[in-house]
Structure 1
Amino acid sequence: MVCLIPGSERGSSVDKRQIWNRRILVALLVSAAVVYLAGIFFWGISMDPSCYDTNYADKFISPGSKHWFGTDFVGRDMFYRCIKGLSNSLIVGILASVVSSVIALAAGIASAVLGGRVDRCVNWCVDLCMGLPHLVLLILISFMMGKGGRGVTIAVALTHWPSLTRIVRSEVMQIRSSQYVQASYRLGKSKIYVAVRHILPHVLPVYMIGLILLFPHAIMHEAAITFLGFGMPAEMPAIGVILSEAMNHITTGKWWLALFPGCMLLIAVILFDVIGENLKKLWNPGSAQE
């Protein structure tokens, strides 16, 4: 005899509705973040340089209806300059993160699948990169590469792969002991075949989340070394350049020169983190049902 609990079906439908509402909320949040970041990115790329051109007659105008973020010491509109600067930072962050994540993916899979000397070499490189002060390593590589956009991109790309490599390696170590992978080995398949056909598809969700979460680190570090003078050139609009110039005038009461570019950089970093963390919840079978 089966006893039905009154209201159990209703409670189940409510739970499903709540889960569905959470998924919609997460999807809307991720979509809003993507739209904002994509809008800044493409707006900055297509922006006419005359929008933030020099105009000495308008220097040090406080924020208002004509200049939303005010103007700087040579009369350049800070709103358009911040949009262009954040767009340049996003370009560097995207390029560096993609290169760094590809290095992490290849190194993590090779380390776990091939093992032996390859595993020891990869772990040694990871320990070496993570043992050095991160900002000092960034400055050294950027300076060796001639600074500028090329130097800072290479520096960020070569210093952000170790943590993701460890995550990918641990994921592959779990997958390689599964029955279907062992069966493929017994059928005579090579390690490269198994890595490409069986292991790589299962690692891709972890890789994509790691790639997205690399963006905020890359953008922040690009702005940091540019602020210190080892990144983007002074004539190029970049958040680090804008903040560095603002330090010369912030003590005279020109607060808007540092506030608005700093807030835009912070919002971009937070939005990338929001996208990565929420996608992690959606792709994880355990947390997707919470």
Structure 2
Amino acid sequence: MGRVDIGTAPDSWGVWFADDPQQTSWTRFLDEAAAAGYTRIELGPYGYLPTDPVRLKDELDQRGLTMTAGTTFEQLHRPDGWDATWRDVVRTAELTAAMGAKHLVVMPSMWRGDNGEVVEERLDHEGQVRHGQAVTELGRWLAEEFGLRTQYHPHADGHVDTQDTVERFLEETDGTFVNLCLDTGHISYCGGDNLELIRTYPDRIGYVHLKQVDPKILADAEADGIGFDEAVRRGVMCEPPNGVPELPPVLDALAALDADVFAIVEQDMYPCSPDVPLPIAERTLAYLTACGGGGSR
């Protein structure tokens, strides 16, 4: 039996960007994450938390916090995407490794925009093969240069999003260098089956984001043809246990893996009032711990 260790992320405090006046300040996020009972956090968008590693380490130490992962996007499906991707990834990787974290969560570029319009063609089979090879190469470089494990995060409206594109991605990548950040909310948002992915690819579940989807808001969003960002503004990602997937079976399946897994609470709430996140964070940690999560410690 493995252990499921719960943490949180700036995303659960309404943070999507490095600098945005609508967002909770970074000091308040750190203070409240610790106050809610968490001891593990993610970096969030590069530039939101201090980028000087000495200062950031001191801020985390003061609050009894450690970092589990950094997060970044990639553009490797594009023929000219390597240089732009590496430029953005390397700074996040440097800071993540300096904090002692072992994981880098990498997300795909989007095929659909905020207004629901198609901004890029979906990848065909050949494109998926090339993309998988490029992400594997990225994972190899991150392992060799920074000692980081690449955990790939399917994302609604991204080039890896639905169950079939996730499964194809896993087939086209090398598990030595790339595994899956199973985001329960994004998988459910796109009609996938989290438990089936855990059962079918137990060796590829390297990291987890925990969130739930409100089925009613999702159905309305699909009927209206809107993009993911607008669906989030409508509240499509909801506080557990009010949505899908049911998290106790997911936690049980993760605990049955022969591995210790970080499961990071990441409830998309952009934008939100600064007074909203803390009570949700406290209730969510208590709920997940009661459901069998390893807790924050």
Which structure has more helix as a fraction of its residues?
Answer: 1
The answer to which structure, 1 or 2, has the higher relative contact order (CA under 8 A, 6+ apart) is 2
Shorter chain as denominator, the TM-score bin is under 0.3
TM-score by length of 1: 0.22
TM-score by length of 2: 0.22
Which structure has more strand as a fraction of its residues?
Answer: 2
